[in-house]
Structure 1
């Protein structure tokens, strides 16, 4: 067998043409690709290599001896190739058609004609190309090494946290790091893992990692103990002096003994030293300090010679000694943490390749390719051109092309998938909501009825109905619990009297009860004004609040609360818009910001139980005293505040149509009950029960992910999610298996409980349409939606989007720069069916990120030094519609950046505008990345 390794060259092509039958079809195609493709000796840059290869079956009924009968030169000057195969053809010895079809073609060939054969070869050309793609899809080495398939390479980069091109650009030689995917996907990172990585990458066997190296850390000025500073407790949060000893924030790389030549190659400024530093920064996720200690072997030190171009460098590899040489000696070198790359001024969006998104798109693409081949056929056989191409083409030929295009489209769609059998399970395990449809959402406000004479609680998950749309009532469920009181807002205003601080005042009135009998701890308000006004009001209350003054309007005493008693709502794990069983809730917080930003315009006034002397009146006011404001607020009214509101999502419990399961099918499509199937879409599967014929008791099925070997004899089910072939939605399919992971042979009826959405139907609703009580709706309050209902959407599965999202969980915070941050955030806003104008608005906000700097810092926590990250982000204010929108976006960025810090480190985020007029600083926040 000829050697097919390495770069194809003319002698190898000659060998292929002389002995083509000795090669397999895949070998022939690989050699042809190396010769005619990019970088090959026969490359034509303007012509794809696939277009220069013609493949056809052998016109013979002889028994084939190999996959390939022969390989011949073709085209102009013999620059192209003609490959004749012995398999998978519509004629020849392996044809599925009756033999007389091949015999007719043989008779035609004997008459020196090829009209019919060439017509069938229109279908063959594309068929063999798809066959070669099928062979190569799971040949990962060939895809990434020979074909240099960018999508397959990108998936491998995603495994090591370098899914975005901007992240790869920040690392020298990123492709070489794929070799260490096993080390870079381990959590937590360990000294042994770093040691293994450095030994292999640098080719140095004598390398150790010394942990817990002593360092002296300067205490930040604002944390040093001095007279006049309050809030410090002796023995708890006080440290004397200006620095502190610490062993938890530093490690050391020990290398040696080394020869003089090896020692010099690792000195600062050399490629090996830079590689060492970049590998350390890539591997460690925490902001550790580190340095390098190298040991020069005995008798390797040399005298200093003037004029020696490779001579000693003072302080690095020069020593003072008497005699011929030295014994073993060590030198310590700091390894500076690289600064985050300077922000680029070109922060726009590169055009993205638009791949087919549905079966229809693939069908149109395949039909176009067949028609191009038919056009070439018409040139070769002009007497038949009218039959195979143009608007007068024969109807039978058109139907044939359409049928073949449909089959090819199904195959090409499968070939282009993103390995869902792998990535879907990974995403389901860490963030299942990302693979689910995005339901419509809104904000609902409740109004207490006259019979509401005391405090009541409406639990989260309460179902609410809309008016019918096309005969279907849309169902929504509330996201937050709502405490209802016989309370109303009677007025609100903003005032800035001369010589007094500005203040926002809200007046309240109770019904049928006095303040002294009203039991209240927390009062939740929704900022219900127009989006920009509400965001500005949110900014003022969160950033410029000095104190809160509560005053009864009849009797009682005024009570004052400090600004910490006003809490932002929506950022905690129990305040999610959609239910989840994932620990990666911070990712969902950002996703929900791009879905329903109004969800974050809730505030809680806490500490009302501290107001003891309220009096017996029924009216009171709350005055929010403010600092000097950098901008003017709009004219406030009571319409800017709403009581008893909550986000609501178009999610509800529903049943699937019963499934009759036999051993004749591998999986079954789950379809919700309902007259109009377009009005229901599966969101998640809650429970699966089965009924066997002749048995009354139901059998409970477990998800196969929960199988541990100790779950008894319960059968299992496997849920598979696929992009719909005809719609821009997700199809849910179920496969039933037993404990041996084989299909169940027994006939059963499956009863499946679901959580569903109404798909795109809620987009027809307007403000006030969500107002019909349901069975579990409260009887003591009415309700309606007070905000526009957002459109539903589907997750974006194309272009390795799921792999890029998985990459987020392994991304190193220190590698993130301005462009890569924008790319990471963009994965949350791009989804199918989203409103184009809405997406453009969010993209404009991302373009407002014009600067990012991340640096390791030290802060005191409880008397000990803690290592963390200081994150400084600069925003372009012109990319936001208001100061409030910029602040709300900043608050989400602060939470998002904490995702990349481990739970043993903190983040301190500072966000400022480009002009330097605004600065928002958040307190230290412990990281959210799990250690395991």
Structure 2
């Protein structure tokens, strides 16, 4: 839930205006009361030089007041950058794009994540750049129709460009569930929980059919290889699952149908269908159409590599602002500093600097000089940040590198430009885009979200430090950590309230220590029982996805050589959902 103090956080312009008002109004009153001490202030309105001085003083004192109100930001930022660096980073804009195969596509075309980049239509003369987040194969297929009849769902596919299905080497098809949330969640619920029989057949010919195992249905988005947000190595990846769920749940609206190589046994020419037979009838509200399921889709995120403007070292300065290079530099914001190196003027010699909070101490080529970065609220763009860099020695004393030029390799975002993008605006290819397909975004672009850098950050740091494997299995602790990652409270109050309802649906949490056999050996683990109020969700699918995210988070929180098992009970219906036992991934320190 949003903090009221944080929600009303003041930007630098507020401090500047306050100080300027105080100097002009209260300064005038002070001068009238004490003319012998400050009679020149009375002349401020008629003397432009005095006005200029007042504005300069207002700028400096405003900055001091802002820093005081931030309550020792350097200390908090330093500890956060060591323990939870992901929490200081902005959450970039995200969307789902769909590729439309062209006639030149006559086979599977690998689309690697991160390396594949696309751009938007220009916003203020700048194209916003995105990169893909999932590895997938672009297929010469199209969805011709989606038909729901009773307890049977049929997805009709067409093979394009005269390609023969056996020659395609098809092993899986990735489905993207599209449309209103109530449709998405119900489809997700039915496909993940209630498929009784799964088959592939020649369109319209039930006797030409291959039956697949229900295990060939795989929800996408939980594996570490399917991360959308890049996480630093010293961040706990379980938090990433929560962060992505609360800010971009569309990333989970993908289902893989594997085992498609078995369809090669069929005499498929140019059309086939996948048939799902459900064990129960879907809700009457589930109205599907051709637009309900898409293929050749992937999440994209507004992240891209960029170099910084060269920084000339000045021994009189202790910190430097890092500016991304190029025109319209204010359209770019630093997401992360990936590498810092120095160049001696007149030579080609390059020196690498290690971050102070790393394991590279005393390995730097520049002796014992390290760099550290910190954030400040931007004074030129509201709700954004600027990144600064300083250089220190092993004792954390500020030092100045030898006379040289400093450069940095950055990962950047397009500040708030992405908020002006609409459906279909992400459609401009780059040199790293597939040449065999057109593309466009089929979902709205999410807003960029910045962590508030004020005093409430201290309490969030303390909350992170108090979490541990035992305390997380209580209602208050579980709701507390979930609320920490409800970042929508900083940008979208409607979405934040929906997330709050989901978090507050947790009625009770109980943990039971138990022993199980794993590969012939006994291991100790925890069964976590969660009672949930179902009416706080859009539907059963919404609740099922929420619980699946909880299951992933709790399993990642579990220690190596231990396990967790999530059991969820509906407070209203009494229905019990049990997830398989999960072996922990965290090392025991």
Report the counterpart of residue 911 of structure 1 in structure 2. Answer: 568
Q: Deviations over 1:476-497 (max 9, x none)?
A: 111112201211112211112x
**1:771 partner SS:** strand
Q: 2:360 aligns with which of 697, 701, 707?
A: 707
Q: Distance in 1 between matches of 2:294 and 2:428?
A: 20
Number of residues of Structure 1 aligned to a counterpart in Structure 2: 572
Q: 1:735 to 1:814 in 2, by over 3 A?
A: closer
Q: 1:546 to 1:556 in 2, by over 3 A?
A: closer
**2:134 partner SS:** coil
Q: Distance in 2 between matches of 1:418 and 1:862?
A: 52
**1:483 partner SS:** strand
Q: Distance in 1 between matches of 2:25 and 2:528?
A: 55
Q: 2:244 aligns with which of 592, 599, 610?
A: 592
Report the counterpart of residue 86 of structure 2 in structure 1. Answer: 433
Report the counterpart of residue 541 of structure 1 in structure 2. Answer: 191
Q: 1:813 to 1:703 in 2, by over 3 A?
A: closer
Q: Deviations over 1:64-120 (max 9, x none)?
A: xxxxxxxxxxxxxxxxxxxxxxxxxxxxxxxxxxxxxxxxxxxxxxxxxxxxxxxxx
Q: Does 1:580 align with 2:231?
A: yes
Q: Distance in 2 between matches of 1:734 and 1:486?
A: 48
Q: Distance in 1 between matches of 2:198 and 2:521?
A: 35
| Pairwise CA distance, 1:780 | 0.7
| Pairwise CA distance, 1:504 | 1.2
Report the counterpart of residue 808 of structure 1 in structure 2. Answer: 464
Q: Does 1:792 align with 2:448?
A: yes
Q: Distance in 2 between matches of 1:428 and 1:685?
A: 12
| 1:813-828 aligned within 5 A | 813-816=469-472, 817-828=474-485
Q: Does 1:931 align with 2:585?
A: no
Report the counterpart of residue 174 of structure 2 in structure 1. Answer: 524
Report the counterpart of residue 493 of structure 1 in structure 2. Answer: 147
| Pairwise CA distance, 1:351 | 5.8
| Pairwise CA distance, 1:674 | 3.4
**2:429 partner SS:** coil
Q: Distance in 2 between matches of 1:521 and 1:535?
A: 26
Q: Deviations over 1:113-153 (max 9, x none)?
A: xxxxxxxxxxxxxxxxxxxxxxxxxxxxxxxxxxxxxxxxx
Question: Scaled by the length of structure 1, what TM-score is found?
Answer: 0.56
Report the counterpart of residue 105 of structure 2 in structure 1. Answer: 452
Q: Distance in 1 between matches of 2:107 and 2:76?
A: 51
Q: Distance in 1 between matches of 2:299 and 2:546?
A: 19
Report the counterpart of residue 287 of structure 2 in structure 1. Answer: 635
Residues 555, 617 of structure 1: 8 Å contact kept: no
Q: 2:153 aligns with which of 488, 504, 516?
A: 504
| 1:126-165 aligned within 5 A | none
Q: Distance in 1 between matches of 2:454 and 2:531?
A: 31
More strand by proportion, 1 or 2? 2
Report the counterpart of residue 731 of structure 1 in structure 2. Answer: 386
Q: Does 1:902 align with 2:551?
A: no
Q: Distance in 2 between matches of 1:831 and 1:395?
A: 49
Residues 795, 832 of structure 1: 8 Å contact kept: no
User: Structure 2 unaligned runs (5+)?
Assistant: none
**1:718 partner SS:** strand
| Pairwise CA distance, 1:724 | 1.6
Question: Scaled by the length of structure 2, what TM-score is found?
Answer: 0.87
Rg: which structure is higher? Answer: 1
Report the counterpart of residue 763 of structure 1 in structure 2. Answer: 419
Q: Distance in 2 between matches of 1:627 and 1:555?
A: 19
| Pairwise CA distance, 1:416 | 4.0
Q: Distance in 2 between matches of 1:720 and 1:914?
A: 48
Residues 352, 365 of structure 2: 8 Å contact kept: no
Q: Distance in 2 between matches of 1:914 and 1:739?
A: 56
Q: 1:850 to 1:616 in 2, by over 3 A?
A: closer
Residues 321, 389 of structure 2: 8 Å contact kept: yes
Q: Deviations over 1:692-713 (max 9, x none)?
A: 1221333333333242334545
User: Structure 1 unaligned runs (5+)?
Assistant: 1-347, 497-501
Report the counterpart of residue 571 of structure 1 in structure 2. Answer: 222
Q: Distance in 2 between matches of 1:566 and 1:745?
A: 56
Q: 1:813 to 1:362 in 2, by over 3 A?
A: farther
Report the counterpart of residue 437 of structure 2 in structure 1. Answer: 781
| Pairwise CA distance, 1:359 | 3.1
Q: Deviations over 1:842-900 (max 9, x none)?
A: 22322322332233233333444432222222333332223322222222222233344
Q: Distance in 2 between matches of 1:353 and 1:770?
A: 33
Q: Distance in 1 between matches of 2:35 and 2:486?
A: 49
Q: Distance in 2 between matches of 1:353 and 1:516?
A: 58
Q: Distance in 1 between matches of 2:285 and 2:76?
A: 48
Which structure is higher in RCO with an 8 Å CA cutoff and minimum separation 6? 2
